[in-house]
Amino acid sequence: MKENWIILEGGLGNRMRVAASAYAMTRRAGVPMRVLWTSQWGMRCRFDELFKAPSEGTEGAEGAFIRDATGFERLLFARPTAKNLHLPRLLQRLRYRHIIYAPQIWNLNKDGFDYEAWFRQGDTLMTAYRDFCPWTPDDLRLLFQPNDEVQRLIDERTSAFSAYTIGLHIRRTDHQQAIDESPLELFFEAVDQEIENYNKILSPTEVLPPQGGDREGPGTDFRIYLATDDEATKTALRSRYGSRVITSPAEATRDNTDGIRDALVEMYALSRTRHIYGSAGSTFSPIAACLGNVPITILQRDGKGTIDLLCTGNDTTNSCTDE
């Protein structure tokens, strides 16, 4: 059978869900996959600068299931743009008989497209930032294991976590849906409710003030981990909840390796909290919830808070339920 190629696109969360989906399809259909990680705008980082090679225990490919694009692959699988005269798309159409591009997948999913039969043809190419086959948290954890340096940073970031640390992912900058539908006030309300719940398990002398107080005051076990791409949001949370807020000391950027590495550290830090509150339209916090098997609530003005993942097999969080 000729090869099947999947090119990961988008940010961390989207790439991770597509890879998990590809691995699930490999196990289900018994067809080999080659999954490539490419450097693009917003993801200027190699796979091996973040993760260990997932060769142990994975099936369906010789060597690592996911690897970085090399040599000619960087041109062949680059995102077609005016700058490269859309040459990659021409080369892809000459080289592969069956192609699905990322923008097509939403409609194909909605129409119940038979991906298994499509991949069985062989000689396929898919570019994707959306999952297309149900997968499990175990698939995700098997494929994505932080390398030693990233693991050290995760352990360092979470060293001040307590047994009662909640996680907030407040997406801003270029994510208009999160800005419009998940305003800061909803996160304040969620944290204040968590403080109220926390106070119910404390003795009267330990009760926190309404806005959390300082980490050295009463109820010292309560912590907030904040993952955000906005410095003003960090300032607002610290102003309201003081030193109970733990967050990255670095200013968010996705244009270099250090920035992407810090984003990954934030994802795994969220996965170690007891409950995650996330922003509308982002896969970042739902992926963190699947990694850590923790509950998640998407805060949205209309109260729906839907999660767009084909993740199954997690009983503690609706982020991993294929509804």
Distance separating alpha carbons of residues 23 and 6, to the nearest angstrom: 11
Q: Assess whether 269 and 196 both reside in one domain.
A: yes
Average pLDDT, integer, range 244-258: 89
Number of other residues whose CB lies within 10 A of the CB of residue 103: 11
Q: Assess whether 131 and 241 both reside in one domain.
A: no
Give me the percent of the chain exceeding a pLDDT of 70: 87
Note the pLDDT of residue 314: 54
Collapsing DSSP to helix, strand or coil, 227 comes out as: strand
Note the pLDDT of residue 306: 84
Q: Which residues, including other chains, have CB under 8 Å from residue 117's CB and lie 6 or more apart?
A: none
- pLDDT beyond 50 at 267: yes
Tokens 């970042």, located at residue: 284
**Predicted TM-score of the model (pTM):** 0.90
Q: Which two tokens stand for residue 241?
A: 């909840």
Note the pLDDT of residue 304: 78
Q: Give the distance, in angstroms, between the CA of residue 318 and the centroid of all CA atoms in the same chain.
A: 15
Q: Assess whether 104 and 197 both reside in one domain.
A: no
Q: Which two tokens stand for residue 172?
A: 């801003």
Note the pLDDT of residue 164: 94
CA–CA–CA angle 114, 118, 122 (5° rounding):
160
Q: Assess whether 152 and 126 both reside in one domain.
A: no
- pLDDT beyond 90 at 302: no
Burial class (CB in 10 A: 0-12, 13-18, 19+), 271: buried
CATH value at residue 57: 3.40.50
Structural domain boundaries enclosing 231: 146-320
Handedness of CA 149, 151, 155, 161 (dihedral sign): positive
Note the pLDDT of residue 61: 44
Q: Assess whether 170 and 312 both reside in one domain.
A: yes
Mean pLDDT for all residues in the chain: 88
Distance separating alpha carbons of residues 141 and 129, to the nearest angstrom: 18
Number of other residues whose CB lies within 10 A of the CB of residue 3: 14
More confident residue, 157 or 319: 157
Last residue of a domain, one of 141, 162, 196: 141
State how many domains the chain has.
2
- pLDDT beyond 80 at 272: yes
Q: Assess whether 248 and 163 both reside in one domain.
A: yes
